Amino acid sequence: MNFIVDTSYFIAAILFILGLKQMSSPMTARRGIIWAGVGMVLATIITYFHKDIQHNYFWMTVAIGVGGAIAYITAKKVKMTDMPQMIALYNGMGGGAAAAIAAIVLMQNDTSHGVTHQSLAVLGALIGTIAFSGSMIAFAKLQGLMWKVYRFKNQQWINLGVFLALVLIGLYMSFSGQDYSMGLLVAFFVLALVFGVMMTIPIGGADMPVVISLYNAFTGLAVGFEGYVLGNPAMMIAGVVVGSAGTLLTQLMAKAMNRPITNVLFSNFGEGGTGEAEEVSGSMKEIEASDVAVMMAFAEKVIIVPGYGMAVAQAQHKVWEMSKLLQDRGVTVKFAIHPVAGRMPGHMNVLLAEAGVPYDIIYDLDEINEEFATADVSLVIGANDVVNPAARTDTNSPIYGMPILNADYAKNTIVIKRGKGTGFSGIENQLFFADNTRMLYGDGAAATSELISGIKDL
């Protein structure tokens, strides 16, 4: 039986790797997740026959049922726009599970397995717990349960102090070879929870995707380390594969946002600029929906720049409907996606795919930025910072240096916006004051509906 169990774990590990590999291409991505799913089911079922399990079969099954059912229902219900925080939530659960496993190992207080065993258990406990509490804060922030960015004096020093305490306790538990008290163990976990919270609360919503990705990598590592402790190669391989893949993904995201990972973690969005941002001159000029409809209907090329505001207004279906009307009139319609449009790289592509927009008219920043100069109209819907020209010119601006979409290079720029406020980062957008920019105020969905009826009336 042991042989069958080990073989199944081996097959599961192969399926995970092949599954992830297939997810790297849109054509095979769906098959990839199914393969990985098969691996997971196989590994779970075979674990019932694992030699180390002596009892608790019933409650184990109940626990799988409870956790699975809650996750299944919430995952089925969640809207595509809320996907990032759900990933944070499920990731936090995984980190919590790894930490709980480590807690039991450490509770057994059996140092006879040697220093490597004990220190990896401690390390997994630390990383898993941080991933757990950090992900929960990330979830709360993106879900809108906790909007404020909390900062206080000497925060970095307090964090450092907590971290040093964790390291000391961890070293003691790993290397002393002596029994430690239950109180010390509890203190260790409480401090780790606090550290995860403290690390996450000063980080603004805009940086959250990077942080979620980082915690995803953390959880992977914690799972890998606990896999060693339990002598389970499937956990070791799957965990570390995710750990390294997640780390790379985090770097890619941070790079797309032009925010080094250390900046995301140790400074705050909006502190990059040294002085006051440049004064914005000019005024915002309003336009009627019917005029925009005429402008686009008789254009040759229209580039649509969707932002998170469009997704919040659930306007993507309307936008695609409008695009089809324009295409019927012979207008070339293209979508320009900024790497951080939406809340994670690729999030906007998911949202547009949901509305049925085909791949071949959706372009990345690098592919389309040259084309704005030849476009008659660029239509900015619910995007703000990613089209702010201040990123190119104003060295004092906090977003200086971030690659932006050159929406302002088009002959006419139309901005659909709910109100006159600033964007996610709280920075005034020079684009809105430019000579060739007109503002169409209103809810994304409502404004697009007006545009649709305007085009139909022509």
Tell me which residues in 218-237 interact with another protein (CB under 8 A). Answer: 219-220, 223-224, 226-228, 230-237
CB of 389 to another protein, least distance (A): 23
CB of 358 to another protein, least distance (A): 5
- Residue placing its CB nearer to another protein in the complex, 64 or 458: 64
Going by C-alpha positions, the residue among 325, 355, 295 that lies closest to residue 453 is 325
Q: Which residues within the stretch 79-138 sit at the binding site for another protein (CB under 8 A)?
A: 80, 83-84, 86-87, 89-91, 93-94, 96-98, 100-101, 103-105, 107-108, 116
Q: Which residues within the stretch 179-218 sit at the binding site for another protein (CB under 8 A)?
A: 212-213, 216
Q: Are 322 and 381 in contact (CB under 8 A)?
A: no
User: Looking at the chain, how many residues does it have?
Assistant: 458
What strands lie across the sheet with 377-381, from one edge to the other? Answer: 362-364, 332-337, 301-306, 377-381, 412-417, 437-441
Tokens 């990059």 appear where? 272
- Residue placing its CB nearer to another protein in the complex, 179 or 360: 360
Q: Are 228 and 100 in contact (CB under 8 A)?
A: no
Structure tokens at 100: 């709980």
Q: Are 309 and 424 in contact (CB under 8 A)?
A: no
- Side-chain-facing half-sphere of 182: CA atoms under 13 Å: 3
Structure tokens at 296: 């686009």
Kindly report the three-state secondary structure assignment for every residue of 272-341: CCCCCCCCCCCCCCECCHHHHHHHHHCCCEEEEEECHHHHHCCCHHHHHHHHHHHHHCCCEEEEEECCCC
Total residues at interface with another protein (CB under 8 A): 116
Going by C-alpha positions, the residue among 144, 98, 146, 157 that lies closest to residue 123 is 98
Q: Which residues within the stretch 326-345 sit at the binding site for another protein (CB under 8 A)?
A: 339, 342, 344-345
- Give the span between the Cα atoms of 283 and 438, in whole angstroms: 10
Phi and psi angles of residue 449, each rounded to the nearest 5 degrees, phi first: -60, -40
Residues with Cβ < 8 Å from 17, sequence gap 6 or more? Answer: 237, 241
- Residue placing its CB nearer to another protein in the complex, 252 or 277: 252
- Residue placing its CB nearer to another protein in the complex, 116 or 396: 116
- Residue placing its CB nearer to another protein in the complex, 206 or 292: 206
- Give the span between the Cα atoms of 20 and 176, in whole angstroms: 40
Answer yes or no whether residue 1 interacts with another protein by CB under 8 A. Answer: no
- Residue placing its CB nearer to another protein in the complex, 26 or 330: 26
Contact pattern for another protein over residues 2 through 41, marking x by CB under 8 A: -------x--x---xx-xxx-xxxxx-xx-xxx-xx--x-
Exactly one of 4, 7, 10, 60 binds another protein (CB under 8 A); that residue is 60
CA 358 to chain centre: 23
**Is 457 a catalytic site residue?**
no
Exactly one of 346, 369, 441, 442 binds another protein (CB under 8 A); that residue is 346
CB of 244 to another protein, least distance (A): 4
- Give the span between the Cα atoms of 440 and 285, in whole angstroms: 9
Exactly one of 357, 375, 431, 440 binds another protein (CB under 8 A); that residue is 357
Query: How many CB atoms within 10 Å of residue 38?
Result: 15
Exactly one of 1, 2, 3, 54 binds another protein (CB under 8 A); that residue is 54
Name the active-site residue from 179, 291, 385, 457: 385
Q: Which residues within the stretch 358-377 sit at the binding site for another protein (CB under 8 A)?
A: 358-360, 362, 364
Exactly one of 197, 240, 280, 294 binds another protein (CB under 8 A); that residue is 240
Structure tokens at 222: 């914690």
CB of 336 to another protein, least distance (A): 13
Exactly one of 173, 203, 211, 253 binds another protein (CB under 8 A); that residue is 253
- Residue placing its CB nearer to another protein in the complex, 351 or 427: 351
Exactly one of 246, 306, 382, 398 binds another protein (CB under 8 A); that residue is 246
- Give the span between the Cα atoms of 113 and 109, in whole angstroms: 10
CB of 386 to another protein, least distance (A): 14
- Residue placing its CB nearer to another protein in the complex, 19 or 444: 19
Stretch that binds another protein, among 75-83, 271-279, 373-381, 422-430 (CB under 8 A): 75-83
Stretch that binds another protein, among 141-149, 150-158, 352-360, 402-410 (CB under 8 A): 352-360
The residues annotated as belonging to the active site are 385
